[in-house]
Structure 1
């Protein structure tokens, strides 16, 4: 800084300087010069920029001076200490002769007052510091380094799996991290190989055909994939196991509407759409008995049997026919041959209750009814001594089908031509409504056997639930489309 003096200021300044040179007015000696400063000089290896986890090729070398300004004596101990962040050290150090890195290393000065350490940068980007301490001299300094993210090691895509209606779109977001999960700014190349869907460089996915698709993300030699299902339109009713409610939800898990609370008595809630109405029929436990209840949007609930027949105790597994003529159900009643379920049916206004006489067989248990679209026949599960079997009953003649198949939880297709069911091996099977051509659609997937299955309205797709979640499968091609957002819903029914 330059000082500007006037004439008087110059004279005064010169007088002051003379006074300093000659001592004080009292003839005393001038003040002594300041003592030499004890110091650490960083000669090399600091102020380097490198990536997280990198080991510096050049050692950190320091030169130490004592209080006389001379080089520190041979053998002076110098400590190099790593400074810590909340979760890790900013850097690690190792003596010049050591193999491992740690938070502390020591060196001793040589004849030139010098010593040093090797430095390994920490895992987090930013400034990394190494404290240099000479305990005997009370000297301390800090070497600094700049840490950048390490090389790309991982690509993350969000969502990693989802479902969207055909013609819909969504955005996939990608991020790149190094091996320490530090974010990087590398551009990600996105692509979809299969026709029927496309993705822009900004991650916007557009769809035009039903199917299962894979998004490929690439950064240099690294790649990652995300998957998504494009599904047909559909609306489900289901039991939400988290809230304990009957709900309606679309096929991709959105637009949930609550219908009613329901309580399971062990056999399941099993809501079903009532054809031609907005109502859903299901089983609920009133604290003493299972009853069949219907819920309509904004209209509350009603009992199928306001005055429950005295002969019927527990009523469960309601399944209306597609023509709206009948609702089949399983019930404990005086008409059953054993103290267990057998099949009944009634009109949807609660009248015309009939017991299916052919299912009154001791000690068999008949339940899980699924009627044909015209309501005349019903597929059901019967538990016999050799295990569960699927059979068909003609409700008008009370004649059982000549055929039966090992399996459970049958579901009659809306076109009336097929019956889907599960078997004890975990296979999802389809058989002709006349018992012909049984075949496996999905093999060995450990089904939640009491959760049931449901068809799409066009009879092309079957929805099922396994331990991993809910999917639909094309009944002809076997293509499987997982739908992740439906995993909290049980006893689904599609319309």
Structure 2
């Protein structure tokens, strides 16, 4: 069996020769010739720079150990190991050689391995101190030896960047040897000498870091340690990135100055207004000077960041989000509440304490709810089909809506807020009527007639059912609460039947003009502010405030995937 010998020993070989007694009349006995030479171990493992004692014996044809026989020793490669005349092997360098024991021309051969300590050892490439992301000046080199100390050729070494205990920050980065470049770990196959080499670079976070190298098959491991220093200034972050302010309010900007690994640095940030109706002082406090969208920049050296600040009229909204349902919020982002549910077309009561909307959960009928209560079906004996786009009259006495059902006329109705007094408003003169919006005094409604590209805005007197005829081609009219102006969705300026921008027209058909700016396309949900100065509408899931006289358009932050929206009367949400 192979054996590992760490210290020198003395090899004693006794040679015996038979001595015949010489008395008168007897013949002398001749010594047995050497038939075989046997080295006790056919394979030995010797640690480098140590010695080991080999033993050999000469035997006769009968297998008897012969005494007095001289045995000569030799090594096939003395650069790896030498052997003395008494069989003492001295290990000089890693590798394998053969040792031969010879007596009277008969010999035996044993294999001698010069090995190292079993395990995985870091040879070079550790102890580097450098800035974040700096590559190591030389690769990390490790040596893997098996349980007998032999080089573990063709084995896999797993390298992994590790951080201090309890830290979630990424550690050193290893080069994986593929087009993906650096990553948190790499696997390398050892060469014939059991050597594995990997490139690495410092991590993105300053502090003590390490690379753990381990052999998954043998279970050996070693750690190379490094120190990552803060890098050159590279990043300035100004927050909040998006914010909204009411007139007369201020906003204090916050800054974080870091290297590219986000390790904090110190420095003085200068602020400036790139555009928009705000001012900013040296401390980063933003003040309002008008309505609109502003961009404010913070800068320190080559590092800079820009934030958006919108100055909005004081108000609140209800919106229906595709993913959250009913959402309440003040325009500056405060007072946000998610009521949930699933529907469309929310509308505030004139007092701002109750909502009505089309509910998908109630099979498309209208539901009403307070801000703290549960939704309840508005109409016990509902008209057929889906009930859509409800609006309160300005005095709060009626809720107008239209119903849509297959194979039936699209019809306008009104009902009391308590669900009683259901009345049909459509006269039957038109097959498709919808989206009613009452005038400020409640005596007339604006609505659409028709479908597809041939959809037009009409006005009807509720009491007499007198109609105005077509005022303009469009959809989703909404009557100003304070003036004779009806805003509506234009339909396909290129001739299509999809919504486009917003336009306005007087109830007598005069004064037709565009309200929104070119390029914005709005869903079927424009609603007025209580003072009649602004329109709120959704465009591609965003919420816009449009100043009617100027066309100034402000996109509200904090909201996304909005289907429909309404402006709350009666002030802000708590």
Partner of 1:355: 424
- Of Structure 1 and Structure 2, the greater helix share is in 1
Partner of 1:327: 399
Partner of 1:227: 308
Partner of 1:392: 459
Alpha-carbon distance, 1:216 to partner: 0.3
Alpha-carbon distance, 1:339 to partner: 0.4
1:427, 1:441 within 8 Å by CA — same for their partners in 2? Answer: no
Task: Name which of 153, 160, 164 aligns with 2:241.
Answer: 160
Partner of 1:408: 475
Alpha-carbon distance, 1:442 to partner: 2.7
Task: Tell me the distance in 1 between the aligned counterparts of 2:403 and 2:253.
Answer: 49
Partner of 1:491: 564
Alpha-carbon distance, 1:227 to partner: 0.1
Shift of the 459–120 alpha-carbon distance from structure 1 to 2, 3 Å rule, reads: same
Larger radius of gyration: 2
1:463 and 2:536 are equivalent in the alignment: yes
Alpha-carbon distance, 1:200 to partner: 5.2
Task: Tell me the distance in 1 between the aligned counterparts of 2:188 and 2:422.
Answer: 85
Give the secondary-structure state (helix, strand or coil) at the position aligned to 2:441.
coil
Partner of 1:296: 370
Task: Tell me the distance in 2 between the aligned counterparts of 1:145 and 1:227.
Answer: 41
Task: Name which of 389, 405, 427 aligns with 1:317.
Answer: 389
Give the secondary-structure state (helix, strand or coil) at the position aligned to 2:564.
strand
1:326, 1:347 within 8 Å by CA — same for their partners in 2? Answer: yes
Q: TM-score, normalised by structure 1?
A: 0.65
Q: Cα RMSD over matched residues? A: 5.0
Alpha-carbon distance, 1:226 to partner: 0.8
Runs of 5+ unmatched residues, structure 1: 1-37, 39-44, 61-80, 94-99, 107-116, 133-140
Superposition pairs for residues 379-458 of structure 1, below 5 Å? 379-384=446-451, 386-425=453-492, 427-433=500-506, 434-435=508-509, 436-447=511-522, 449-450=523-524, 452-458=525-531
Task: Name which of 320, 334, 342 aligns with 1:254.
Answer: 334
- The number of equivalent residue pairs is 412
Task: Tell me the distance in 2 between the aligned counterparts of 1:263 and 1:227.
Answer: 31
1:213 and 2:280 are equivalent in the alignment: no
Shift of the 227–284 alpha-carbon distance from structure 1 to 2, 3 Å rule, reads: same
Alpha-carbon distance, 1:224 to partner: 1.9
Task: Tell me the distance in 1 between the aligned counterparts of 2:262 and 2:372.
Answer: 51
Partner of 2:51: none
Give the secondary-structure state (helix, strand or coil) at the position aligned to 1:407.
strand
Partner of 2:357: 282
Runs of 5+ unmatched residues, structure 2: 1-115, 117-124, 140-157, 164-168, 176-180, 191-196, 214-221, 493-498, 570-574
1:152, 1:184 within 8 Å by CA — same for their partners in 2? Answer: no
Alpha-carbon distance, 1:464 to partner: 1.5
1:185 and 2:265 are equivalent in the alignment: yes
1:90, 1:127 within 8 Å by CA — same for their partners in 2? Answer: no
2:453, 2:491 within 8 Å by CA — same for their partners in 1? Answer: no
1:427, 1:440 within 8 Å by CA — same for their partners in 2? Answer: no
Superposition pairs for residues 12-411 of structure 1, below 5 Å? 50-54=130-134, 84-85=161-162, 90=172, 121-124=201-204, 125-127=206-208, 146-179=227-260, 181-187=261-267, 188-192=269-273, 197-199=278-280, 203-207=284-288, 209-239=290-320, 241-245=322-326, 248-256=328-336, 263-264=342-343, 268=344, 270-276=345-351, 278-284=353-359, 290-291=365-366, 293-297=367-371, 304-306=378-380, 308=381, 314-331=386-403, 339-348=408-417, 350=419, 352-358=421-427, 360-361=428-429, 364-384=431-451, 386-411=453-478
Shift of the 103–171 alpha-carbon distance from structure 1 to 2, 3 Å rule, reads: farther
Residues 200-240 of structure 1 deviation map (CA, whole Å, 9 limit, x = unaligned):
55544444643322120112123221102121221323335
